[in-house]
Amino acid sequence: MVMFSQRISQQLQQRQQAGLSRQLQPVTQLNNGELIDQQQQRLVNFSSNDYLGLAQDPELQQAWQLGIAKFGCGSGASPLVTGFSSAHADLEAQLCEWLGFERAILFSSGFSANQAMLFGLMQAGDVLIQDKLNHASLMEAGSLCAAEMQRFKHNDIAHLEQRLPSQDNKPCLVVTEGVFSMDGDQARLSAIESVCHQHQAWLAVDDAHGIGVLGDNGTGSCAAAGIKPNILVVTFGKAFGLSGAAILCDRNTGDYLTQFARHHVYSTAIPPSQAYALSHAVKMIQTQQWRRDKLNDLNECYADQCQKLAGYVATKTPIKPFIYGSVNKVMLASEKLKQAGFWVGAIRPPTVAQNSARLRITLTANHSQAQVQQLAQCLIQLAQERSILQTSDMSFKSAACIDAACTDALCSKETATNELGIRGGM
């Protein structure tokens, strides 16, 4: 017990001394892009992943309430026992029809869906190749599963091709995110799919931050790129305004995961009332195009205001990283923005790489152009303050430049195991 206590205390102290401690901060979310913190300060929230503004929408609230009236509160069991209801079946069928797959399997979170996919599919002798900036759930499962895991430089098709040729005689799975959670950039899905096809490798895409936001009717990154991966993971905690996730795939793969994905077999199913509400969220995503149109307008507004600032990163998604590099500078910037009435999270190592600490600004359909313009003016003022002025070495525009130094050794499974704290995601 003493050894555990000493190690726990030492690691907590080390993180605190490095300025990297994280704290839970109770807040109350409002339906206008704002929140109320524990000091009862009203702040405009620029850290939420509620991209379409559904989380507090009265229409979706009513759908969940109706689901409770129809199905009760909890599922009471795992899906293979008695936890799978008609609401779950309807949601799975709806997702398949919308996204063009034969099977959908529901999970309680994107983290568990990603881990179920890799632990369920990958066996000894298989090869797993991941983008170096994939989410921690994918990196952890890849490092711990029986397969040989390699990583390729972020969005680097040439490096991916270098990884693939020697794997033609082995089952090989390539995994990427559709939209990367810390940088807001998009995977080069068309090129990645082409390379996978040439080498008979499967492709899996985690589209947590693209589904609902990109593509016709919100069908996501893959549809927008004109591709269909072998496996698609979608999550419900971002654009859907709720929580949970699903793996979409062909019928045989779905049947296999139903039998062998332990996160599915041995976890209590999501509440049927939640599945019912998620079905309504899908309908809202499909039919309420104005939410995506508004996001596009806000994207342009933000770019117009901020594109000349050092640290600005251009993206076509609602995720807008603003790079400071220094942990102290980004923490100071976040605090000054809070004093000005904005909640903007400071993202620090180990969630992102060393020397790439940033504000992670996210736009939602609940924001107004006036709120975005006011935030931009504060960022401009901060850039003029010498204490947190970005220096010329912040000329890089995304994590891809940080990743450029990635060697074969740095992209190994062993290195990934040591970096599991990085790319924690949101």
Binding residue numbers for substrate: 22, 135, 351
Report strand pairing: 172-177 vs 127-131. parallel
Q: Per the residue annotation, which of 92, 148, 183, 206 is the catalytic one?
A: 206
- 278-294 burial, b at 16+ Cβ within 10 Å, e below that, comes to bbbbbebbeebeebbeb
3-state secondary structure of 293: helix
Is 181 among the residues known to form the active site?
yes
| Cβ-Cβ contacts under 8 Å for 239 (sequence gap 6 or more) | 50, 51, 52, 54, 211, 212, 213, 218, 285
Q: Which residues are part of a known binding site for pyridoxal 5'-phosphate? A: 110-111, 181, 209, 235
| 135 counts as catalytic | yes
Catalytic residue among 177, 183, 193, 207: 177
Q: Which amino acid belongs to residue 388?
A: I
Determine contact, residues 423/131, Cβ cutoff 8 Å. Answer: no
Candidates 45, 48, 49, 85; catalytic one: 49
Half-sphere exposure of 203 (CA within 13 A, CB side): 24
Spot the catalytic one: 209, 264, 280, 294.
209
The encoded tokens of residue 180 equal: 């990367």
88, 153, 154, 238: the active-site residue: 238
Helices (H) and strands (E) in the chain, counts: 16, 14
| Catalytic one of 88, 132, 135, 329 | 135
Of the candidates 336, 328, 381, the one whose C-alpha atom is nearest the C-alpha of residue 357 is 328
238 catalytic? Reply is yes
Question: What's the CA gap between 269 and 311, in Å, rounded?
Answer: 43
On the 0-12 / 13-18 / 19+ scale of CB atoms within 10 A, 359 is buried
Tell me which of 45, 143, 181, 398 is the catalytic residue. Answer: 181
Beta carbons within 8 Å of 258's beta carbon, 6+ residues apart: 80, 105, 264, 265
**3 vs 6: CA distance, rounded Å:** 5
Instruction: Please name which of 188, 225, 211, 176 lies closest in space to residue 285, comparing C-alpha atoms.
Output: 211
CA–CA gap between residue 237 and residue 242 (Å, rounded):
5
Is 159 considered catalytic here?
Answer: no
Q: 177 is written with which tokens?
A: 């995110």
Structure tokens at 142: 């890849």
Q: Which residues are catalytic?
A: 49, 135, 177, 181, 206, 209, 238
